[in-house]
A and B are shown apart, each in its own frame.
Chain A
Amino acid sequence: MDAFWIILTGTLVAGSCALVGSFLILKKMTMVGDAISHAVLPGIVIAYFVAGSLQSVWLLIGAGSLGLLTTFLIEFFHQKGKLQTDASIGVTFTWLFALGVILVSYYSGNAHIDQDCVLHGEIVYVPIDMVFSKSGTPIMPRSVLITGIVFIIVALFILLFYKELLLTTFDSLFANAIGISTSTWHYLLMGLVSLTTVASFESVGAILVVAFLIAPAASAYLLTQDLKKMLILALLFGFTSAFGGYYLAVILDSSIAGAMVTVAGFIFLICYLAIVLRK
C-alpha cells in the first residue's frame, strides 16, 4: 500500500509539473520556474510561523505570494534596472532562498535545515502522514490529497483556458490585439507554477519539482510540434518517470525523488538520441 501512495504522489506531482512545464518551455521561462521553486522557501517559513503549522491554507498563500514576488522582481530588475535576465534570475532566487534558510535556522537553531527540507524532501515519508475520516480510519496520505487537488486545479485551468494560454504563449501581439492580456495570463501561469511547487515542495523537494517541470516537457517538445500532443506526451513521460523511479529506488535502496529524476533524465536521453541519430 505504501508503494501505491508514493507512486501516486509522484504521479500527481509529475502530472501538474508536466502540464505547466510545457508552457514554461514554450515561453522560454523554465529558469523562472526553477527560481520560483527555490524562492518560495521564505514564504513557507513565514506562513508556518504565522499559522503555527504546515497544514494550512496560509502555507499556500505565503508561498504563492513569494512565487509571484519572484516573478515580479525578475521582471522588475530586468526592465527597470536593465539587468540581463540570467543574472536577474540568479540574484533574485539566491537572495530569497538565503533569506529562507536564515529564517528557518533562526527559529529552529538548525544550520543545515536547507538540505533536509528543501533539496531532497523525502517522498518516502508520504504514507506516514495520513488524513483520517471521522470514524478514525485512514483515508489517504495528506500529500496525495494536496497534490491531487493541485493536479485537478492545473488540469482544469489548462482545459478551460487552453485557447488563451495558446495565444499568449505563441503570439502575444495578436493576443493583445484581440483583447487578451498577455501579462494577466503570464502571472496566472506563474501563480500555477508557484502552486505546483508549494504543493510538491515538502513531499518531494524542490529539485524533483524542477526536474519534473522541465524534463518530461522537454522530451515531449523534441518529439512533436503540436501543443496538444506535447501536453499528452509530457504527462505520459512524467507518469513513467514517477513509476520507474520508484522501482529504481527500491533496487538501489536510494532516494526515491532522486531516482525519479534519474529516470526522467534517462527518458530525455533516449528522445535526444532518437532525434540526433535520425538526422
Chain B
Amino acid sequence: MELLIDFFSFEYANIKYVIFGSILLSVSSSVVGCFTFVQKKSLVGDVISHAVLPGICIAFLASGSKDPFFLIFGAFVTGWISIVAMEKITKNTKIKEDAATGLSLSIFFGIGIVLMTYIQQSGNAAQSGLDTFLFGKAAALVGKDLIAFSIVATLALLVVMIFYKELKLISFDPQFAKVNGLPVRRLELLLTSITVLAVVTGIQAVGVVLMAAMLITPAAAARFWTDRFHKMIMLAGFFGAFSGISGAFVSFAAPGMPTGPWMVMILSVIALLSFFLAPNKGILIKLLRRISIQRQLLEENMLKAFYRIGENSGDHFERVSKGDLRLIRNFSSVQLKKGLGNLRRSGYIKEDQGLLLLTQEGFDKGRRITRLHRLWELYLTKYLRIAPDHVHEDAETIEHVITPEIEVRLEQLLNYPEADPHKTQIPSI
C-alpha cells in the first residue's frame, strides 16, 4: 500500500516519465490493434515485431550509431517488407495465410539473429545495449529514446483520430469503401504503416515475442463487452493504459521483475475475465443461460406429461408415480430427480403419500404447453401442408418459445379450433 502511495505521489521525477511513456506506448498499440483485429489479421503484429530485428541491425551497421530515429527507420522498412512478402506468398502460391505468417516471421527473425550476433562478434563497442531495444525495458525508457518513441506513438494515434471513419470502413468492408470512391489501397498502406509504427514503439515496452499481445489482447478483451467499434477502441485503449501503469508500477516496486511480461500478464487476466464473465458474450454467462433453458425445457416437458396422464384418466389431479411419467415420456432418472425437485420447489407439483400430483398452477401451465403444442401442429398441417405424422418434432421445439401474443394470433388464424391434426382435443383456457 505504501508503495502504491509512493508510486502515485510522483516524488521521483523519473516515475512521471516512465508512466507517461508506458501508457502512451501501450495505448497506441491497443488502439491500432483493434483495426487489425477486425480485419482478422491479428498475427500480422507478431510478424512485424519479429521482422524489425534485421532492420534495426542493418540500420546500426549502416549508421554506426544507436540513434533511435535511425533504428526506428530501419525497423519500419523491414517491418514493411515482411508484410509485403507475406502478401506476395499468399497471392502467388497455394501457400495459405497461416503458413505465410509463420514463414515470414521466423525467417526474418532468423536473419535478424544472424546480423545481431555478427554485430556482437565484430567487437564494435557502440553495439552494447542494442539488444535491449528488442527485449523490452519500459521502465528504463528515458531521454532521447522516450522522446522519439512518444512522438511515433502520438503520430500513430493522431492518424487513427484523423482518418477514423475511412480506416473503419476499409477494415470492415473494403468492397463498399471502394464503391464509395475511397482510395482503399492508399488507406491500407496507411493502416499498415501505423501498425508497423505501433509495433516498433511497443516492442520497447514488452519485447519481440510479447508484442503480439499488446496488439491482440486488449482488442480481443474489448470485443467481448461491446459490438460498437468506437466503444471497443476506447475500451481497448483503457485496458492498454491500465496495463501500462501496472507495468510501470511493477518495475518500480520490484525492479528484479520483468516489466513487459507483467504488462502482458495483466492484459491477459483482463482478457480471460472478459472471455468468461462479459455479459451476453462471456463463456460462463452463455453456459448458465443454456443450463437455465435446459431446466425450463425439462420442467415444461414434465408438466406436459402430467397433463397427458390426467387427460387419459379424466382426473387431472390424480396421484402419479415416476413410472407413470416414464410411460409418457422417456425421462432419465437424473432428469426425473432434478426436474421433479425443481417443480416441487416452484410449487407446480406436490407430494402425497410418496406419489406426486399437480397443483392448480402446475395444471394451468401443463395445459398451456399442451395447448401450444397442438395449436402449432395444427398450424403446420393447415398452412404449411406438412403431413400430420411429421409435425410433432417441430412442435416439441416451438412450444417453449411461443409468446401469448403469438398464441392469440395462432388461434385467430386457425379460427379457434377444437382438435389438433391427431384429433385430440386442444385444451382451452
Contact = CB atoms under 8 A, between A and B. Distances in A.
Nearest to A79: B283
A31 interface: yes
Given A112-B258, A253-B118, A254-B118, A98 B113 contact: no
Interface in A18-56: 25, 28-31, 33-34, 38
B240 interface: no
B321 to A, nearest CB: 40
Interface in B276-327: 281, 283, 286
Contact of A98 (B93, B102, B103, B265): B265
B42 A86 contact: yes
B275 A83 contact: yes
B121 A102 contact: no
Majority SS at the chain A contact face? helix
Given A90-B42, A91-B217, A255-B117, A261 B210 contact: no
B261 interface: yes
Contact of A95 (B106, B117, B265): B265
Contacts of B208: 119
A119 B135 CA distance: 10
A228 interface: no
Measured as residues with beta carbon below 8 angstroms from the partner, the interface class of chain A is: 35 or more
Contacts of A275: 92-93
Contacts of A109: 256
A2 B260 CA distance: 37
Contacts of A105: 256-258, 261
Contacts of B286: 80
A210 interface: yes
A115 B105 CA distance: 16
Given A31-B98, A114-B207, A258 B114 contact: yes
B376 interface: no
A31 B106 contact: no
B363 interface: no
Nearest to A263: B110
A91 B264 CA distance: 9
A218 B95 contact: yes
A253 B281 CA distance: 53
Given A111-B258, A210-B106, A252-B114, A98 B94 contact: no
Contact of A90 (B46, B135, B260): B46
Contact of B42 (A87, A106, A207): A87
B24 interface: no
A13 interface: no
B392 interface: no
Contacts of B45: 90
B43 A222 contact: no
A82 interface: yes
A101 interface: yes
Contacts of B105: 34, 210
B121 A268 contact: no
A221 interface: yes
A243 interface: no
Interface of B: 37, 40-43, 45-46, 50, 89, 92-96, 98-99, 101-103, 105-107, 109-118, 121, 131-132, 134-135, 207-210, 212-213, 215-217, 219-220, 223-224, 256-262, 264-265, 268, 271-272, 275, 281, 283, 286
